[in-house]
Structure 1
Amino acid sequence: MHTHTDDTLNRLNEIEQRVSVIRKMVEEDVYCVDILRQAYEIRKAIEDLEDNILQGHLKGCVPEGIKEGKLEAVQQELLQLYSMVGNR
């Protein structure tokens, strides 16, 4: 298991809780702007989750792949990630 797994799981739990809060807000017909604020917080939490996972990947998996002689595969993967992040 990667060292960042506990942090990642904690972040996911937080996101799930926030989604539950929004669901309840919608069911209770809470003011739309308040729901949108919560949705923004979820989006930010997901971006933070992505950043955390990416940092773990760059610090752990990438050097490991290079040491194992998988440089070309690592480069391709990084290019794909770069394209995805660029579309945020």
Structure 2
Amino acid sequence: MARKAHHPYETKKDMISRMNRIEGQIRGIAKMIDEDVYCDDILHQFMSVESAIKGVKKTLLEAHMKSCVVHQIQDGKTEVIDEVLTTIGKMMK
């Protein structure tokens, strides 16, 4: 059976909204490259996108810990702890 997330509607709505803005920023960067915008200006846009993605990742990790991980531990599936520690390790690289 496939696992599913259990995020509150508002959290999910916020993350989707933020991802849509990031998608627009990425399209904007592509346009800037196509229009030969000054490289430093483009690099600043990349940093902005990276920061926005980090924010969404933080929100998702927090929601995951407070819902998915808690539910699995309550169901006796403690292997989720190793799973989340591996994920956090990869995020920190």
TM-score, shorter chain, exceeding 0.5: yes
Q: CA deviation at 1:7?
A: 1.1
Q: Provide the rounded CA distance (Å) in 1 between the counterparts of 2:42 and 2:70.
A: 42
Count of residue pairs brought into register by the alignment: 86
TM-score (norm 2): 0.86
* 1:35-46 correspondence to structure 2 within 5 Å: 35-46=42-53
Q: By how many angstroms is 1:85 displaced?
A: 2.4
Report what 2:7 is aligned to.
Answer: 2
Match of 2:80 in 1: 74
Please provide the CA RMSD for this pair. Answer: 1.1
TM-score by length of 1: 0.90
**Structure 2 unmatched ranges of 5 or more:** 1-5
1:31 aligns with 2:38: yes
Q: Percent identity?
A: 36
Which portions of structure 1, spanning 4 or more consecutive aligned residues, are displaced by more than 2 angstroms?
none
SS of aligned partner of 1:69 = coil
Greater fraction helix? 1
- The structure, 1 or 2, with the larger RCO (C-alpha pairs under 8 Å, 6+ apart) is 2
